[in-house]
Amino acid sequence: MGNLAHAPRAIIFSDFDGTITQEETFSLLMREFAPEASSRMIPRLLSGEITLREGVPAVLETIPSSAFPAMERRMREAPLRPGFEEFLNTLEHLGIPLVVLSGSIEPLVNARLAPYRSRIERIVAAKVDLSGPFLKVTSPYADHDELVYKPGIIYSFDVPTRIVVGDSVTDFSMARLGSLVFARSLLAKKLEEEGRTYIPFETFFDISNYLELHKKA
């Protein structure tokens, strides 16, 4: 999976929910379309009582397949973090591919990123089967209690420099692999607690400016 056409020296691996999007869109969708299951399962997820690999399908698989088009429409309306398009321009200028890693569902991520899809090297997320009466979640990337095990995907790319962008404690495992890490919110707090170096950001303008400033470093 990790073979790229032009063997770049660096790849950016970015989370989607709360990183590329301004809000935790996937959690909001689960609460909207599966309110009862979300009220039961999300607190257990946050407390660590159950894993993402267990909890996310438990919520999603209570949602009728007929509701999925409405979920996609809602996702298309999700606001992106400011500067994302300019960030893509910067990456193209610097020759750095972008790989989006998400614990969400691939069609939902694609729904929001469709206008930019040709500029993104790869989107990796869980799959969904809509052939039955309810959503059925599958993931070839599930491992280590995660529905999408991001470190395993990052390891599949043979590249000297791994740049990681994230916002949540669920991104910590991939942040540990980063040669350079851009972090905000709970991920930044976790990295501080662990004594790990990171670059703070709030918008993609921050990341673009840093990359341009250090492009010869």
Instruction: Give all strands of the β-sheet with 98-105 in edge-to-edge order.
Output: 136-138, 122-129, 98-105, 10-14, 161-166, 180-183, 199-200
Please give the sequence-ordered ranges of beta strands (E in DSSP) within 87-205, or none if there are none: 98-105, 122-129, 136-138, 161-166, 180-183, 199-200
Rounded Cα distance between 152 and 147, Å, is: 12
Strand partners, 164: 13, 181
* Per-residue confidence (pLDDT) for residue 216, from 0 to 100: 60
Q: What is the pLDDT along the chain (217 residues), one digit of tens a residue?
A: 444 445 579 999 999 999 999 999 999 999 999 999 999 999 998 888 999 999 999 999 999 999 999 999 999 999 999 999 999 999 999 999 999 999 999 999 999 999 999 999 999 999 999 999 999 999 999 998 999 999 999 999 999 999 999 999 999 999 999 999 999 999 999 999 999 999 999 999 999 999 999 986 4
String of b and e for 155-191 (b: at least 16 CB within 10 Å)? eebebeebbbbbbbebbbbbbeebebbbbbbbbbebb
Do 214 and 197 form a contact (C-beta atoms < 8 A)? no
Hey, is 107 helix, strand or coil?
helix
Residues 33/62, Cβ–Cβ less than 8 Å: no
Count of beta carbons in the 10 Å neighbourhood of residue 216:
5
Q: What's the confidence (pLDDT) of residue 2? A: 47
CA distances from 85 to 50, 81, 203 (A): 36, 10, 11
Q: What is the fold of 10-22+80-128+136-213?
A: Rossmann fold (3.40.50)
Domains of the chain: which residue ranges?
A: 10-22+80-128+136-213, 27-76
